[in-house]
């Protein structure tokens, strides 16, 4: 894409497509109770018109959209594979087995805190929140729903645990991306991120413990749980050997096998289990991969839980991702994001203002560009020099990118993370948002630290010619 010499985008003009998109989104979701696709298309048209009126040629605008879509292609591939793996694992009895044994060993009172901790451990080991949610998370939803726990609470606990690992694990691409873009030592970045993430995680686990107490004792519907386990036994072959399938997939990711081949192995193993363990025919197994698993047990809760999955079920998510990225592509490559950030930098006169602005910019990028990686990449490029000029260590920037970008992506229904969670766990972002405690407490803690100066590392040059040293103030 050739660069054009065009007038610098003004803030008032640059923010116009965002205002139009947000207004359209509110009308569509709140008033009309429809999805976010059309508002994003309206925003894309508005962004294209603004770019054209500002002097950009159509070829540049079109290529900007394509560049945005290309950035989302890895996410689209994973989303489609997750649809396949859910269909295969339900048909293969793997999800039923995880739910069955989960109901045996986890009590309702401790379930929310337990599933958060389990997802934390798994994601720390494999470094992928999406893989964690697509495996342990799917089973956790089934277990929690069987216990009568509301779906938004379960999803929030799963997300909090998975994203703690995604933000802290050295195997996570988000962690390495934030460190690499800011030229920060990886383990220095992780150590500094613990200051904001660990307190938020502890708060989340404690809150889940107290919330879960309402489902204990007499409020626990043991009869319903027993009935669910009996239906599972009648409908599937339940065997602890089936637990090897998720163990193999998690092990592959932990060994740094890329997500796509690791998930594909899970699809194949689930397909084989459907045919050779559950006794299904090949036609039914293929249908489960394409359109999802179908079962009629007479138990409404079990039927609602297991009639899902398949490639077709992810097309809503895929289409939203593509539309969102066309909008984000124009915003970035037509200079609109740069104009907005330049305006913010004029207001951020101090170090605390700069860090706070970084976190808010990351969230705004999640809202406007609809992609978690962009919310890390774009602010990293835009704020790097500002941090140096104010004498702030680069690990302040890398931590702010994770706190404001990685964690807040789940709150945007049209962000790739929000649509992935909706497609995988079946809960809308607006429903689980209050219960994704780690994801919204961490940015708040980060802003408080920025204002107070606690754990904020500065760079001080002692004498000319000597190396720069950093210190926490």
DSSP letter, residue 213:
G
Give residue 147's pLDDT.
80
Q: Find the mean pLDDT for residues 342-351.
A: 74
Tokens of 205: 């686990």
Long-range own/partner contacts, residues 187-190 (CB < 8 A, 24 or more apart): 188/395, 189/395, 189/398, 189/399
Q: Say how far apart CA 163 and CA 411 lie, in whole Å.
A: 12
Mean model confidence pLDDT for the chain: 81
pLDDT, tens digit (0-9, with 9 covering 90-100), for 406-424: 899 999 887 878 888 988 8
Q: Find the mean pLDDT for residues 314-323.
A: 77
Confidence check: pLDDT of 466 > 50: no
Confidence check: pLDDT of 220 > 70: no
Please say whether the beta carbons of 232 and 302 come within 8 A.
yes
Confidence check: pLDDT of 281 > 90: no
Q: Which residues contact 3 (CB under 8 A, 6 or more apart)?
A: none
Q: Find the mean pLDDT for residues 438-449.
A: 94
Q: Say if residue 240 is exposed, middle or buried (CB neighbours under 10 Å; 0-12, 13-18, 19+).
A: exposed
Give residue 171's pLDDT.
57
Domain ranges of the chain: 73-314
pLDDT, tens digit (0-9, with 9 covering 90-100), for 70-113: 877 776 777 788 788 878 888 998 878 877 877 676 778 888 99
Give residue 472's pLDDT.
45
Angle between helices 138-146 and 108-126 (to 10 degrees): 180
pLDDT band for position 301 (50/70/90)? low
Q: Say how far apart CA 99 and CA 105 lie, in whole Å.
A: 10
pLDDT band for position 224 (50/70/90)? low
Q: Find the mean pLDDT for residues 386-393.
A: 84
| Beta-ladder partners of 403 | none
Give residue 45's pLDDT.
92
Confidence check: pLDDT of 5 > 60: no
Q: Say how far apart CA 217 and CA 412 lie, in whole Å.
A: 36
pLDDT band for position 460 (50/70/90)? low
pTM over the 0.85 mark = no
């Amino acid at each position: 894409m050739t660069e054009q010499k065009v007038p610098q985008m003004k803030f008032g003009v640059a923010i116009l497509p965002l205002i139009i998109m947000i207004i359209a989104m509110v009308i569509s979701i709140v008033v009309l109770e429809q999805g976010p696709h059309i508002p994003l298309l309206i925003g894309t048209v508005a962004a294209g018109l603004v770019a054209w009126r500002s002097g950009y040629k159509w070829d540049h605008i079109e290529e900007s959209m394509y560049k945005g879509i290309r950035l989302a292609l890895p996410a689209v591939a994973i989303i489609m594979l997750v649809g396949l793996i859910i269909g295969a694992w339900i048909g293969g009895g793997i999800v039923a087995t995880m739910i069955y044994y989960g109901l045996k060993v986890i009590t309702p009172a401790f379930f929310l805190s337990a599933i958060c901790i389990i997802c934390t451990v798994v994601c720390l080991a494999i470094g992928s929140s999406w893989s964690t949610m697509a495996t342990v998370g799917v089973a956790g939803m089934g277990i929690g729903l069987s216990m009568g726990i509301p779906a938004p609470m379960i999803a929030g606990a799963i997300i909090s645990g998975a994203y703690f690992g995604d933000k802290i694990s050295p195997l996570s691409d988000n962690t390495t991306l934030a460190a690499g873009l800011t030229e920060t030592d990886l383990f220095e970045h992780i150590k500094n991120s613990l200051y904001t993430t660990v307190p938020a995680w502890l708060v989340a686990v404690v809150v889940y413990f107290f919330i879960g107490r309402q489902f204990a004792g007499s409020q626990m519907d043991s009869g319903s749980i027993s009935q669910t386990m009996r239906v599972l036994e009648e409908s599937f072959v339940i065997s602890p050997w089936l637990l090897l399938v998720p163990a193999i997939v998690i092990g592959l990711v932990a060994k740094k096998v890329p997500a796509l081949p690791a998930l594909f192995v899970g699809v194949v193993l689930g397909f084989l289990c459907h045919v050779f363990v559950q006794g299904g025919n090949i036609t039914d197994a293929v249908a489960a991969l394409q359109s999802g698993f179908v079962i009629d047990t007479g138990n409404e809760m079990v039927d609602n839980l297991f009639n899902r999955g398949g490639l077709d079920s992810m097309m809503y998510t895929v289409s939203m991702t593509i539309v969102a990225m066309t909008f984000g592509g124009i915003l970035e490559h037509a200079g609109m994001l740069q104009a907005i950030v330049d305006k913010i930098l004029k207001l951020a006169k101090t170090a605390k203002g700069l860090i706070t602005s970084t976190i808010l910019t990351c969230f705004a990028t999640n809202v406007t560009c609809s992609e978690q990686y962009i919310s890390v990449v774009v602010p990293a490029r835009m704020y790097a020099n500002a941090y140096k000029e104010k004498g702030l260590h680069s690990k302040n920037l890398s931590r702010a990118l994770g706190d404001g970008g990685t964690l807040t992506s789940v709150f945007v229904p049209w962000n790739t993370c929000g649509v992935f969670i909706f497609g995988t766990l079946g809960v809308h972002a607006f429903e689980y948002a209050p219960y994704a405690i780690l994801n919204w407490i961490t940015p708040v803690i980060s802003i408080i630290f920025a204002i107070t100066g606690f754990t904020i590392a500065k760079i001080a040059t002692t004498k000319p010619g000597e190396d720069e040293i950093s210190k926490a103030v």
